[in-house]
Structure 1
């Protein structure tokens, strides 16, 4: 495992992703974590614990009209982590081919999340995060410093690690505050 995956500089990611980078940093600080890999690991356990307590009928809950269901939101998290991990793999391996974006709002209906159980979604989320962790832990400083293009914007491998941690931190907060609080 790399000794440290430093917070990426502002030139390592598109401005849109600054919120995820900041969310990862805030979450790490609040938990007293010094390494983003610690956050990635803690989130896997946190998801398992949190989702293990949610009744199955809650999967179809929308906290407001037009918002995704809980199941859709969680499958979106899985899809996004897979896309970010694929980008991480390609960029860390020195592949300079520009990588396409994806339209999350088009992917959600196609995910058929409403036909799945929360237990199935939770298992998949854990499996995807486990795979992500193994990839991240395999990367050295040189691989993490690699840069590429995704969605038409420059991004470093290091930034993608932080973006994954921040994206899940954002959705865990959303899940607690919007989907499970009422």
Structure 2
């Protein structure tokens, strides 16, 4: 698309089949400028960088222009599906679990299945707090989360497994509502992780889901290992 992508006089036009055009507003008063420039435009005497940053500084909208995908694509369909369904494995795994195995630790310092589930629940609270800061503060910084240094983790770890599951389910519904309700301009916001550096909300969500999947796998191990 070239210069039209962030030109003050270019106006985006969406056509059928995800085609992208730009109307050159200079053409309305100066016939030497084409009404619909052939893309990409590499050189243009009338180019003026858009001071509002309409396309250049709005990555989600820019992504939509480039790919034809909706703004929510930045989170990805797979991420939304996993966010809504990944915890279904809790019901499946705990459904026929031997009660004696739920609190069994395989070795000193290793968490039981219940403690891993409690960690998932507590991290929902941590992630919701971080999500709020990312959408309300400019590039907030976050230290690596360590459960052993978190008083809130001890409170979660002391609760019976059924209560943990109930609280976790409520937090998940809250998180899904928060993610689905994000405004397009918020998708491009970033938070800075002490180990992984600057991450977009999309990457933070992926980090959250992968971290959760790891602990779900450990829960399966704890409940099934001999």
Using structure 2 for the length normalisation, give the TM-score: 0.59
Structure 1 equivalent of residue 217 of structure 2: 173
Note the 1:39-58 alignment, pairs <5 A: 39-58=82-101
Question: Is 2:116 the counterpart of 1:73?
Answer: yes
Structure 1, gaps ≥5 residues long? 8-33
Deviation >4 Å, runs of 4+: none
Q: What secondary structure is seen at the aligned counterpart in 1 of 2:165?
A: helix
Say which structure is richer in strand.
2
Aligned counterpart for 1:139 among listed residues 182, 187, 210 = 182
Distance in 1, Cα, partners of 2:151 & 2:115: 6
Distance in 2, Cα, partners of 1:65 & 1:176: 19
* Cα shift at 1:151: 3.6
* Cα shift at 1:94: 4.2
Contact 2:193–2:199 under 8 Å retained in 1: yes
Note the 1:98-137 alignment, pairs <5 A: 98-107=141-150, 111-113=154-156, 115-137=158-180
Of structures 1 and 2, the larger Rg is shown by 2
Q: Deviations over 1:73-111 (max 9, x none)?
A: 111111222212221221123444434443223338951
Change (3 A) 1:40 1:109: closer
Distance in 1, Cα, partners of 2:135 & 2:157: 35
Distance in 1, Cα, partners of 2:191 & 2:220: 34
Question: Is 2:208 the counterpart of 1:164?
Answer: yes
Distance in 2, Cα, partners of 1:164 & 1:144: 16
Q: Deviations over 1:25-77 (max 9, x none)?
A: xxxxxxxxx42010111113222332333344333211233211222211111
Change (3 A) 1:123 1:40: same
Query: What is the Cα-based RMSD across aligned positions, in Å?
Result: 2.8
Note the 1:2-17 alignment, pairs <5 A: 3-6=72-75
The answer to which structure, 1 or 2, has the higher relative contact order (CA under 8 A, 6+ apart) is: 1
